[in-house]
């Protein structure tokens, strides 16, 4: 296999995983992040990465909710019945 095919395969693989991540529902993304966090707790070498990168991302993902995506920009929140 030549180097060009390997490079194309790597680029296509990365693009595939980014697309799957972006199209995944927010709840599932949060579960994946929480699972990754639970795994990194047991790895002392990853503690710095966990604190610096993973924890803020989990905090942002947990607070997103239904009004967090750009698709709901023009939608007003529901009013409770009176």
pLDDT tens string 43-79: 888 888 888 888 888 888 776 555 555 555 555 656 6
What the block records as the tokens of 33 is: 């992040």
Domain assignment present for residue 12? The answer is no
pLDDT of residue 16: 97
Number of domains in the chain: 1
Residue with tokens 């972006």: 22
Ranges 12-16, 23-27, 37-41, most confident: 12-16
pLDDT of residue 65: 55
Domain assignment present for residue 1? The answer is no
Domain assignment present for residue 76? The answer is no
Domain assignment present for residue 14? The answer is no
Whole domain around residue 43: which residue ranges? 25-64
Domain assignment present for residue 74? The answer is no
Domain assignment present for residue 69? The answer is no
∠ Cα 29 54 15 (to 5°)? 55
Residue with tokens 């997103």: 64
pLDDT tens string 29-45: 888 888 988 888 888 88
């Amino acid at each position: 296999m030549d180097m060009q095919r390997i490079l194309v395969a790597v680029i296509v693989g990365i693009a595939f995983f980014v697309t799957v991540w972006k199209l995944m529902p927010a709840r599932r993304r949060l579960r994946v992040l929480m699972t990754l966090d639970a795994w990194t707790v047991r790895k002392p070498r990853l503690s710095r990465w966990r604190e610096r990168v993973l924890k803020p991302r989990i905090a942002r993902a947990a607070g997103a909710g239904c009004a967090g995506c750009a698709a709901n920009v023009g939608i007003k929140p529901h009013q409770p019945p009176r």
